[in-house]
């Protein structure tokens, strides 16, 4: 371990001709760039541009279909995560890889606890943990359970853990997306220190400000391709980076067309419930697309859970076209015509082992079954085929298991499920997360055509471009409260971020 | 828009080997084992042995039909063994007191329904693990069986009651007929009703099913209630065959039934299950047991063999999910 750490000191990290294909999708094609030691290298691009896939290859989760990594003068392909860790690579993911029920010290040494004959030496464990946390997060007691730490603190524990394994290459995947301003500042200082120690740092972020503040070089991705690398930040400007990332004007992708706004549809007043800190009030009209922007943990998903009846609200009134609604469970919301496409498709959206047809028909089926329970084979078949055609779901047959479809086609199938039902309000939580650009613009088209039919649409997204691209009006949330609302014309990246960033409480 | 062309652009395979194997492999295995037994074991095909085999299948077969729904929804029910014993005892005791077959059978089924409803309500509404819930009711119901019977077998005098276990219709023993009816009914229920499809959706992804508007709690309660009633029905048939209600029978029976289902291809994790899995699993277990008896293989070895077969089946199941 010690020797290895020495040998990689001062070495650069190069991606050489990395290609990654998944069945039916080319996630990465021919990625070539070098990150210098003692520098912070930013990776930028839209969601689904390939940054995460690249980090997963770096971390050993995926193996490239062709091409390899080069650390110093050694070519390598990591066969698994352990292989990657052994070679001095650490990837700090958005979802941290810590066990919340265990203590900080146990997490730090998970897999190689100091022990003799299998009996853990608690004293030494604590000593070594304190050593590691020194200079990173000295206020954390090694005996606290990780579950009780703030997200920022957990991130520091994760960094300490990777340093304990002798990491030379450290990759951060959107590290500040759920941090407060103070925590962000502290993280920046630590990253700067690691840089000065000669480590290679990869930094994935959407935030221009941070990238220009901390990074030395930047590589832009788009649709799985490597667009351009700027070796020095002084060579470029935020505007130039955006043009590189998007490649075409925003209007082309989002295909925004102004619509007539109808009468008020969903009216929310003083709504309170789990995940909200202040009462929320707003109104959506028929044919309107309301964007809901905020950082991870701002309470957007929680608000949708209240609106879709998944969670019961503790105070406030919901009105649909003037009538007061009582939502005890998702069934009530669905019966009222409020339909939700959840954020986590795999966990909450699809029944993975069921067929595409099954997933489309599941909700509307009781309305078409005799006596509410006997299936009508003809309707089942016709409806599935109709939705598959209308939404261009790419599947060999309606009876294919839905887990074999790409994310975009799964999302279209869930939209098909709701299009089989009478719909008044459509709630979309991160509708294009992890979806390739082609399917993305198809989904935007579907959203627009639904709005044109007079349906009120609420789109939750943490993708700035996306909210600005498709919404008529944008509401911003931060720390469980609505912090502002901007009309399409007033919305700029800066203003939205300003509203979304948590206020420093120091 | 060329949407229609796009949808058809993907080649359509007329025969999917993998899917065929997934669906029919265990059925073919059951058939193969049956054929091997007829070829290599004397007296296997004899009418007497076939009748014995049919009766051996009947109890497991009846209960396995509803266990299929429990497993498909991602749960299981350990209390059926006790329900079988208790139902027999309840039927026998009520008939002894009131001299009415109808009353006895109704009381037994009602007892099963109650146990099932309690299981279902606790699991669905209080969100308590099925393992713990049914482990508890398994012991409670076993105890009740002993209490009702004073710990001894309760004899039945009513002649009419023996129809369930020993009667014949169209030359076929009644227990086998009941099994066939159950298989047909529950197979239909799983495939052709919203209830059946919802069961599989809940097992496949409960959260998604809830968000799609499925009555998750109600479906679970019905599943366990069905299991209770059908368990009691099996208990009545068994008591009728033995002409008495015996509080100690059916111990470990729940595990045999779950083994049969999983062996046939029903997934323990939920979401996958077909009635032909149940048929295949029940057939394989019963035929092998029957063959081992005809070959005079020691009971001790029979346990080892049955366990090995089950282990193999779960390993295969694991690979299928990849």
B170-229 residue pLDDT tens? 888 999 999 999 999 999 999 999 999 999 999 999 999 999 999 999 999 999 999 999
pLDDT tens digits, one per residue of A297-321: 788 989 999 999 999 999 999 999 9
pLDDT value for B16:
67
Residue A120 has pLDDT above 50, yes or no: yes
Shared domain for A89 and A190, answered yes or no, is yes
CB contact under 8 A, B3 and A334: no
Answer whether B204 sits within 8 Å of A365, measured CB to CB: no
A247 burial level (CB within 10 Å; 0-12, 13-18, 19+): middle
- Residue A104, chain B, CB below 8 Å: the answer is no
| Residues 330-389 in A contacting B (C-alpha not used; CB under 8 Å) | 330-331, 334-335, 340, 342, 347-354, 358, 362-363, 365-366, 369, 372-375, 388-389
pLDDT at A260 > cutoff 90:
no
pLDDT at residue B12 above 70?
Answer: no
Domain hosting residue A407, numbered range: 350-421
Which residues make beta-bridge pairs with A18? A31
Question: Residues A482-491: pLDDT tens digits?
Answer: 999 999 989 8
pLDDT in tens, A417-476: 999 999 999 999 999 877 766 788 889 999 999 999 999 999 998 888 888 889 999 999
Give the span between the Cα atoms of A23 and A27, in whole angstroms. Answer: 10
Taking CB atoms and an 8 Å limit, are B3 and A389 in contact across chains?
A: yes
Domain boundary among A198, A231, A248: A248
Average pLDDT, chain A: 86
Listed residues A403, A421, A439: the one ending a domain: A421
- Going by C-beta distance under 8 Å and a sequence separation of 6 or more, which residues neighbour residue B154? B89, B92, B93, B96, B244, B245, B246
- How far is A271 from chain B, CA to nearest CA, in Å? 21
pLDDT at B13 over 60: no
B192–A375 CB contact, under 8 Å:
yes
Nearest Cβ partner for B207 among A347, A362, A393? A347
* Whether A181 and A307 share a structural domain: no
Q: Say if residue A410 is in the same domain as residue A439.
A: no
Q: Which member of A354, A365, A396 has the closest CB to residue B10? A: A396
Verify that A388 and A462 share a domain, yes or no: no
Q: What is the pLDDT of residue A24?
A: 62
Task: Print burial letters for A222-244: b (CB count within 10 Å at least 16), e (below 16).
Answer: bbbbbbeebbebeebeeeebbeb
**Neighbour order of strands in the sheet with A217-222:** A74-76, A66-71, A13-22, A25-35, A225-230, A217-222, A39-44, A200-204, A169-173, A89-92
A59-97 pLDDT, tens digit each: 888 899 889 899 888 888 888 888 888 888 998 887 677
Do A366 and A478 lie in one domain? The reply is: no
Cβ–Cβ below 8 Å for A362 and B205 = no
Shortest Cα distance, chain B CAs vs residue A362, angstroms: 7
Cβ separation B200–A354 shorter than 8 A: yes
Look at residues A459, A431, A44 and name the one whose alpha carbon lies nearest to residue A222: A44
Same domain? For A215 and A77 the reply is yes
Residue A238 lies in a domain: yes
Q: Looking at residues B242-261, what average pLDDT do you find?
A: 92
pLDDT at B33: 92
pLDDT at A344: 84
How confident is residue A2, by pLDDT bands cut at 50, 70 and 90?
Answer: very low
A396 and B201 within 8 Å at the Cβ level: the answer is: no
B99 touches chain A (CB under 8 A): no
In a domain, A342, yes or no: no
What mean pLDDT comes out for the span B116-142?
A: 96
Task: Identify the pLDDT of residue A251.
Answer: 60
A503 confidence band (pLDDT: 50, 70, 90):
low
Q: Is residue A505, in this structure, part of any structural domain at all?
A: no
Q: How many domains does chain A have?
A: 3
The residue out of A366, A392, A421 marking a domain boundary is A421
Written as six digits, the tokens of A491 are 């919305």
Backbone φ and ψ for A150, nearest 5 degrees, come out as -75, 165
Q: Is A297 in the same domain as A440?
A: yes
Percent pLDDT > 70 in chain B is 93
Lowest model confidence (mean pLDDT) among A265-269, A274-278, B107-111? A274-278
Cα of first residue to Cα of last residue in chain B, in angstroms, is 37
Same domain, A355 and A211: no
Q: How confident is the model at residue A48 (pLDDT cuts 50, 70, 90)?
A: low
Q: List CB contacts (< 8 A) between B210 and chain A.
A: 310, 329-330
Three-state DSSP at A145 gives strand
The CATH number for A270's domain is 3.40.50.300
According to the model, what pLDDT value does residue B4 have?
Answer: 36
Lowest mean pLDDT among A244-253, A287-296, B292-301: A244-253
In a shared domain, residues A253 and A242: no
Same domain, A240 and A255: no
Give a yes or no: residue A344 inside a domain: no
Same domain, A281 and A218: no
Interface residue B322 vs chain A (CB under 8 A): no
Q: Residues A201, A217: one domain? A: yes
Q: Does B198 touch chain A (CB under 8 A)?
A: yes
Tell me if chain B has a CB within 8 Å of the CB of A134.
no
Here the ipTM equals 0.80
Is residue A506 included in any domain, yes or no?
no
Write down the H helix ranges in A11-150. 51-58, 81-86, 104-108, 122-133
Q: Within a domain: residue A42?
A: yes
CA distance A374 to chain B (A): 5
Instruction: Tell me the per-residue pLDDT of A393-421, one tens digit each, with 9 for 90 and over.
Output: 988 889 988 988 888 899 999 999 999 99
State whether A362 and B209 contact (CB < 8 Å): yes
Query: Looking at the complex, does the CB of residue B18 fall below 8 Å from at least one CB of chain A?
Result: no
Phi and psi, residue B142, nearest 5°: -60, -45
How close, in Å, is residue B30 to chain A by CA atoms?
Answer: 25
pLDDT digits (tens, 9 = 90+) for A346-374: 888 999 889 999 999 999 999 998 887 88
Q: What is the mean pLDDT of residues B251-262?
A: 92
């Amino acid at each position: 371990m010690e020797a290895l750490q020495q040998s990689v000191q001062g070495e650069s990290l190069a991606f050489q001709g990395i290609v990654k294909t998944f069945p039916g999708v080319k996630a990465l094609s021919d990625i070539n760039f070098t990150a210098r030691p003692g520098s912070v290298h930013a990776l930028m691009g839209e969601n689904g541009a390939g940054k995460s896939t690249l980090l997963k290859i770096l971390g050993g989760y995926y193996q490239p279909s062709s091409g390899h990594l080069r650390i110093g003068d050694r070519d390598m392909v990591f066969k698994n995560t352990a292989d990657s860790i052994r070679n001095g690579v650490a990837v700090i993911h958005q979802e941290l890889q810590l066990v919340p029920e265990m203590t900080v010290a146990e997490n730090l040494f998970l897999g190689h606890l100091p022990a003799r004959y299998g009996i853990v030496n608690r004293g030494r464990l604590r000593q070594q943990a304190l050593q590691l946390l020194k200079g990173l997060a000295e206020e954390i007691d090694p005996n606290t359970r990780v579950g009780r730490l703030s997200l920022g603190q957990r991130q520091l524990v994760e960094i300490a853990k990777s340093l304990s394994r002798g990491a030379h290459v450290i990759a951060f995947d959107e590290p500040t997306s759920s941090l407060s301003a103070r925590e962000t500042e502290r993280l920046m200082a630590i990253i700067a220190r690691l840089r000065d120690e000669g480590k290679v740092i990869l930094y994935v972020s959407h935030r221009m400000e941070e990238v220009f503040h901390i990074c030395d070089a930047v590589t832009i991705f788009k649709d799985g391709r490597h667009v351009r690398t700027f070796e020095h930040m002084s060579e470029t400007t935020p505007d130039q980076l955006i043009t590189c990332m998007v490649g075409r004007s925003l209007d082309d992708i989002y295909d925004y067309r102004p619509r007539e706004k109808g009468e008020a549809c969903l009216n929310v007043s003083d709504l309170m419930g789990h995940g909200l800190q202040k009462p929320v009030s707003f109104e959506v009209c028929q044919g309107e697309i309301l964007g809901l922007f905020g950082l991870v943990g701002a309470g957007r998903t929680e608000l949708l859970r209240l609106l879709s009846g998944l969670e019961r609200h503790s105070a406030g009134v919901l009105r649909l076209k003037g009538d007061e609604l009582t939502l005890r469970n998702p069934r009530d919301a669905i019966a009222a015509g409020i339909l939700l496409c959840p954020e986590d498709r795999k966990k909450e959206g699809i029944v993975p082992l069921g067929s595409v047809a099954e997933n489309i028909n599941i909700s509307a089926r009781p309305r078409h079954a005799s006596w509410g329970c006997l299936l009508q084979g003809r309707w089942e078949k016709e409806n599935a085929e109709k939705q598959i055609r209308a939404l261009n779901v790419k599947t060999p047959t309606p009876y294919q298991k839905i887990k074999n479809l790409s994310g975009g086609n799964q999302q279209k199938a869930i939209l098909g499920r709701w299009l089989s039902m009478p719909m008044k309000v459509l709630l979309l939580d991160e509708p294009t997360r992890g979806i390739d650009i082609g399917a993305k613009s198809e989904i935007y088209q579907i959203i627009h055509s639904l709005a044109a039919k007079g349906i009120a649409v609420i789109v939750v997204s943490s993708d700035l471009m996306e909210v600005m691209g498709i919404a008529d009006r944008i509401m911003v949330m931060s720390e469980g409260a609505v912090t502002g609302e901007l009309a399409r014309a007033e919305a700029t990246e800066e203003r939205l971020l300003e509203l979304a960033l948590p206020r420093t409480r120091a | 828009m060329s949407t229609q062309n796009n949808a058809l652009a993907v080649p359509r395979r007329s025969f999917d080997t993998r899917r065929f194997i997934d669906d029919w492999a265990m059925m073919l295995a059951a058939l193969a084992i049956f054929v091997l037994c007829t070829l290599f074991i004397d007296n296997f095909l004899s009418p007497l042995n076939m009748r014995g085999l049919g009766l051996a299948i009947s109890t497991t077969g009846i209960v396995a039909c509803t266990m299929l729904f429990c497993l498909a929804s991602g749960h299981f029910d350990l209390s059926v063994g006790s329900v079988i014993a208790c139902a027999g005892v309840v039927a026998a005791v009520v008939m002894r007191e009131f001299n009415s077959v109808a009353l006895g059978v109704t009381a037994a089924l009602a007892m099963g329904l109650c146990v099932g409803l309690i299981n279902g309500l606790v699991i669905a509404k209080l969100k308590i693990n099925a393992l713990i819930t049914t482990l508890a009711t398994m012991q409670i119901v076993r105890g009740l069986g002993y209490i009702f019977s004073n710990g001894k077998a309760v004899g039945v005098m009513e002649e009419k009651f023996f129809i369930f276990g020993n009667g014949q219709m169209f030359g076929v023993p009644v227990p086998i007929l009941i099994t066939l009816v159950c298989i047909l009914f529950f197979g239909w229920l799983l495939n052709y009703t919203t209830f059946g499809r919802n069961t599989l959706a809940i097992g496949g992804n409960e959260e998604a099913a809830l968000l799609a508007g499925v009555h998750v709690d109600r479906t679970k309660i019905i599943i366990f209630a069905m299991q209770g009633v059908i368990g009691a029905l099996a208990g009545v048939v068994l008591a009728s065959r033995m002409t008495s209600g015996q509080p100690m029978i059916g111990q470990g029976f729940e595990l045999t039934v779950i083994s049969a289902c999983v062996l046939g291809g029903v997934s323990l994790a939920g979401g996958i299950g077909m009635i032909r899995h149940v048929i295949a699993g029940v057939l394989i277990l019963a035929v092998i047991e029957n063959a081992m008896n005809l070959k005079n293989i020691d009971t001790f070895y029979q346990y080892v063999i049955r366990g090995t077969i089950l282990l193999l089946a779960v390993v295969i199941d694991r690979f299928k999910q990849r």
